[in-house]
Structure 1
Amino acid sequence: MQERAEVTRRSILAAAALLFERHGYVGTSISDVARTSGYTSGAIYFHFGNKEGLAQSVLDAYFGEWPRLVEKWRSRGGPVLDRTVGLSLEVAREYRDNLIVRAGNRLWNEHKSIPTHLPQPFVGWISTVAELLAEARDAGELAAGTDVSRAARVVVAGFFGSHSISDALDRRRSVEEAVAEFWLLVLPGLQAEPDPEGCLERVRGRLPRRPKSEAAAAV
């Protein structure tokens, strides 16, 4: 019974994410989600309470995607700056290919329309990047005199700015290239021994390969 309930919940959440990503919070109704998911409105209210609860669940799933990727790249060997760049490129892929992430991103952009408490964005990323840069500094990878806190804020702002522009121009199809271009400009100022092209080449070789058909179906 519990397994069946979880399958129902996941199916409703996927349908809601699809609609929120396409039409936004205001443009999506419980009846829309019911029609798309194949479940009744009663089932949706039972599992999520109301539309606000449904949006909150999508956002919780969105924010829940990141700890796994952060731990994956932090636990790997190799230069810390390489791992920081690798993490950013894989996160960029998630914004392009992952429906939950795209839906969560749109919901956050419309957060003023959602009458529920939402987690504060970016703070966690700034903290994570600052920790990685501090590790890079201790490993002798950072240029002398680098202000880790300031650099973390600039990196996070640059990443999300690159993502937003890619979204506006071509629905994130070129988001990896946009983030790579950002790093090509920023790394020479961060690295103790500047080699941005070498860093990106090493990182690309460590990114997981994803079938083109999967990426295309997700866009």
Structure 2
Amino acid sequence: MQERAKATRRSLLEAAARLFAEQGYAATSVNDISARSGRTSGAVYFHYAGKEGIAVAVVQDRFATWSQLAARYADEAVPPVERLVGLSYDIAYALAEDPVTRAGARLWAERATINAPLPDPFALWTAATTRLLAQARLVGHLNAQVRPARTARTLVPAFFGFCVLTEALEGTAAVTDRLTDWWQLTLPSLRPQPETRPPAGASANSPSSSLPPPGWRSSS
């Protein structure tokens, strides 16, 4: 019984997400969701208490929690800044290709039309970015002038706005290449600055974060 209920909830959520991503919150009805999912409208009200409830669930599922990215975030074998870069590609790919993530982003943009409070996804993103930057600072991979919390509060909205605007102007296929360009501009300001007077015969190299090659796609 529990497995059946879980499957019903999932099918409703995925059907609603596709509709929200395609046509927006206002243009999607409970009947649309039930028809797309093959379930009854009563099932929507039973499992999610209506369209508002399922909208909140869609935002929480991928856009506001990113539980599927926890393993990459916690992988201490990878330097912190490289983890941050890798996560950005995973998120950009999801925003471009994953229906539930796309729906979460669209619902967030349309939140004023939804009669229910949506979770703030950017608080989690900012906290995760702050922690990674703080870890990078501890191991000497961050410019001493960079303040993790302040920098995270700038990087997160800049990244999200960049992804949304790039897709709007150039389409989803351009996002990966443009993200590589974005990091090539951004990373030098995060890396430690070379010594102004390096020892004779020595080069002042700083740690670098590898960027995925053009056309890279997340395997997650």
Q: Tell me whether the two structures share a fold, i.e. TM-score over 0.5.
A: yes
For residues 73-92 of structure 1, the C-alpha deviation after alignment (integer angstroms, 9 at most, x for no partner) is 33241322111111111111
Give the TM-score normalised by structure 1.
0.85
Correspondence 1:78 to 2:88: no
The correspondence of residues 60-209 of structure 1 with structure 2, limited to 5 A, is 60-63=60-63, 65-192=65-192, 199-201=209-211, 203=212
Q: 1:63 to 1:29 in 2, by over 3 A?
A: same
Q: Displacement, 1:68?
A: 3.3
Q: d(CA) in 2 for partners of 1:55 and 1:63?
A: 12
What is the Cα deviation at residue 5 of structure 1? 1.6
Give the Cα–Cα distance (whole angstroms) in 2 for the partners of residues 166 and 153 of structure 1.
Answer: 20
Query: CA–CA distance in 1 between the matches of 2:127 and 2:88?
Result: 14
Taking a change above 3 Å as real, the CA distance of residues 118 and 46 of structure 1, as seen in their structure-2 partners, is same
TM-score, length-scaled by structure 2 = 0.85
Q: Please give the secondary structure, in 1, of the residue aligned with 2:173.
A: coil
Change in CA separation of 1:51 and 1:209 when aligned onto 2, cut-off 3 Å: closer
Deviations 1:120-179 (A, max 9, x none): 231221121111111101100112222222221221122112111122124422222222
Unpaired stretches in structure 2, ≥5 consecutive residues: 195-204
Distance 1:78 1:56, change over 3 A: closer
Correspondence 1:52 to 2:62: no
- Partner SS for 1:27: coil
SS at match of 2:210: helix
CA distance in 1, matches of 2:16, 2:161: 26
Distance 1:174 1:33 in 2: 31
> Aligned letter for 2:73?
W
Q: 1:8 and 2:8 equivalent?
A: yes
Alpha-carbon separation, structure 1, partners of 2:103 and 2:14:
10
Alpha carbons 1:126, 1:152 under 8 Å: kept: yes
User: Can you give the 5+ residue segments of structure 1 that lack an aligned partner in the other structure?
Assistant: 212-219
- Note closer, same or farther for the CA distance 1:155–1:41 as it changes in structure 2 (3 Å cut): same
- Structure having the larger proportion of residues in helix: 1
Counterpart CA distance in 1 for 2:113 and 2:184 is 37
Residue 18 of structure 1: aligned partner: 18
Task: Tell me, yes or no, if the aligned pair for 2:56 and 2:116 is still in contact at 8 Å.
Answer: yes
Question: Residues 48, 78 of structure 1: CA spacing in aligned structure 2 closer, same or farther, 3 A cutoff?
Answer: closer
- DSSP 3-state at the match of 2:209: helix
Instruction: Give yes or no for contact 1:86–1:204 (8 Å, CA) kept in 2.
Output: no
- Tell me the amino acid that sits aligned with residue 33 of structure 2: V
Higher Rg: 2
Percentage of matched positions with identical amino acids: 39
